[in-house]
Structure 1
C-alpha cells in the first residue's frame, strides 16, 4: 500500500517531501533514501493524528507522472480502511466493542495503527460492520 508523494530538490540540498492528498504530511531528507524513510515516518504519524481526531484518512490512489510511491505497511492500511468504515457508518469505539463483544481496551489496540493485530481479528470486526475482508495477490 502506498501514497503519492512529491519529492522536490531543496535549496540547501536534499529533498522536501509533500503529499498532495495529506497536506499535514511534510518532511525532508538529505538523500533520496533518507527522504523516503522520513516520508514513511511522517505518513504513519499522520495516520495516527487522523485517527486521534476521528477524521477519515484519504484513500490511496494511482500515481501521477511527477509523484513517487511512499509505502505504508499493509496492516496499517487495513486499519485505515476499518477506521474510515467506522466513520462512514457513525460507529464509535464503544459501539464497536458492544457489537463485536470485544473489550474496549482491545478495540483501542485494534484501532492503534502501530499495534500488531491478527488479520483474523480485523476480518471479524469488518464482518460485524457488514463488510467482507478479501485478500488478493496481484
Structure 2
C-alpha cells in the first residue's frame, strides 16, 4: 500500500511554486525552492491527514502513475495509522483487539496519528490483517 500522494508544482512569478495535492483538494502550500515545497507539502499533508484520521473521515488513496507529479509522504505516525486503517477495511477495532488479544483502547491507538506504535506492534497487526510489514528508506 502506498502512502505517497501526488502533488503538482506550479511555478510562480517572480520565484517559487504553488504545490497542490491532486487527491486532497484542501492540501496545498507554496515555497521558494523545490526542497522547501517538498518540506512544506509533507507538513500540510501530515496535518490534514491527522485531522481526517481524528474525525474518522474517509481518506482517499493516493492516485498512481500521475504524469509530471511529485509524490510526497506524510510523517511516519500518519503513514502507520493510514496503513492500518486501510488494511483493516471493514473489520471493527473490537475484532482487531480480540484477535491481537489486547484491549479496545490499545487497538484504537494503532490508528491514532499521535501514537508511535512499535515495530513489534506493527508486525503483529500486519500479521493479524493478513499482511506483511515491509520497511523502506527513501
The TM-score, its normalising length taken from structure 2, stands at 0.76
Find the counterpart in structure 1 of residue 23 from structure 2: 21
Question: Do residues 110 (structure 1) and 126 (structure 2) align?
Answer: no
- 1:126 Cα deviation (Å)? 2.5
Instruction: Give runs of ≥4 in structure 1 deviating > 6 Å.
Output: none
Q: What is the CA distance between 1:72 and its match in structure 2?
A: 3.4
**Correspondence list, 1:51-70, <5 A:** 51-52=53-54, 53-59=56-62, 61-64=64-67, 66-70=68-72
Partner of 1:41: 43
Match for residue 134 of structure 2? 135
Q: 1:79 aligns with which of 41, 63, 81?
A: 81
2:98 matched residue in structure 1: 98
* Number of the residue aligned with 1:4: 6
Seen in structure 2, the aligned counterparts of structure 1 residues 96 and 12 have a Cα distance that, compared at 3 Å, is farther
CA contact (8 A) 2:43 2:74 kept: no
TM-aligned CA distance change 1:99 to 1:47, over 3 Å: same
For residues 38 and 18 of structure 2, what CA distance do their matches in structure 1 show?
Answer: 10
Contact 1:5–1:70 under 8 Å retained in 2: yes
Q: Gaps spanning 5+ residues in structure 2: where? A: none
CA deviations 1:19-47 (Å, max 9, x no partner) are 11222211122333222111001111222
Matched length: 134
Structure 1, residues 36-73: CA drift from partner, whole Å, max 9, x if none?
A: 11100111122213322241441462342x21122334
CA RMSD of aligned residues (A): 2.7
> 2:18 and 2:47 mapped to 1: Cα distance?
17
